[in-house]
Structure 1
Amino acid sequence: MRSGWRTQQSWRGTLASLLTSQTRDESPALKALKLRQTITLRKGSPLLPESWWQSLSENSYGVRTCLVASSPCIAWTMDLNNDGKPEVLVYDRDQREITAFSEENEQWRNIAGFSCRDRISCPDKYSAAFDRAIQQGELGTIEKPGRDLQIDGQRYKLDYYGAY
């Protein structure tokens, strides 16, 4: 059953890639409209910034699988980096992935992601509870115990390779 699931996920990713390439000639407004129709707002979340929706016409890579998902993708906002500004998070239930976007200098970009595919930390038996918790807003953030380095005033990100 697992290999069939992977094949289905691979198929959806390929189909999303084809659909994205086929819609390159669409107007940015039409592409953004299609994404608005396939991404739903999570219960209790404030509306997503209009500038984020508009940014998808130029850079929809992080959410393109939502165009072919069998279940609507779920989006919400929350501050992930303690800057006082909300980031946009999108959960693709079919892909079991969360993609986070942040706005900097009036440009939205993909800043982080999380995937439950092929992860021991997200066994299938918890997927219904995982989906329900996201839909009901039962989520938060946890500060990481590892820190980055600062050398001569410049920040250098350390990757901890699963140490935490």
Structure 2
Amino acid sequence: MNISININGETVTRDVEPRTLLVHFIRDTPGLTGTHWGCDTSNCGACVVQMDGQPLKSCTALAAMCEGHEIRTVEALEVDGKLDPIQQGFHEKHALQCGFCTPGMLMTTRALLDENPDPTEAEIRMAISGSICRCTGYQNIVAAVRWAAENAEAEVQS
């Protein structure tokens, strides 16, 4: 079947098998490999993207189901050489180690901050509860989200 999906503001069209997962469509078609493919069971959260502004585990969605929706990947966070505050927060607060979960965590927490610009620690922990990080212990991730919330208007550079 032929599908077209808007990914990061660009329409991507491809013939796919009906069973093609969104994570594979994103990685294979436009070559956006920032979206990680981890567990293939929707447990880890490494594959989180945003669909219409909401976090979505892209290993749980068929690409064909996403036609007509706006998909945003981690590659869309940095604009014109400027990091998104959530990316800068992860840097400032050392919220990553191996980096495998980071794209999913960034997309999940970006959606949280878009909906709630000043989340509590409990709200942050609830938002990231669907994502597994085996390295950090989560404390620095929570601190990074708080940093981003407090510095949302700051001009951050890569």
Identify whether the pair has TM-score above 0.5, normalized to the shorter chain: no
Q: Which has the higher contact order (CA 8 A, sep 6+)?
A: 2
TM-score interval, normalised by the smaller of the two chains? under 0.3
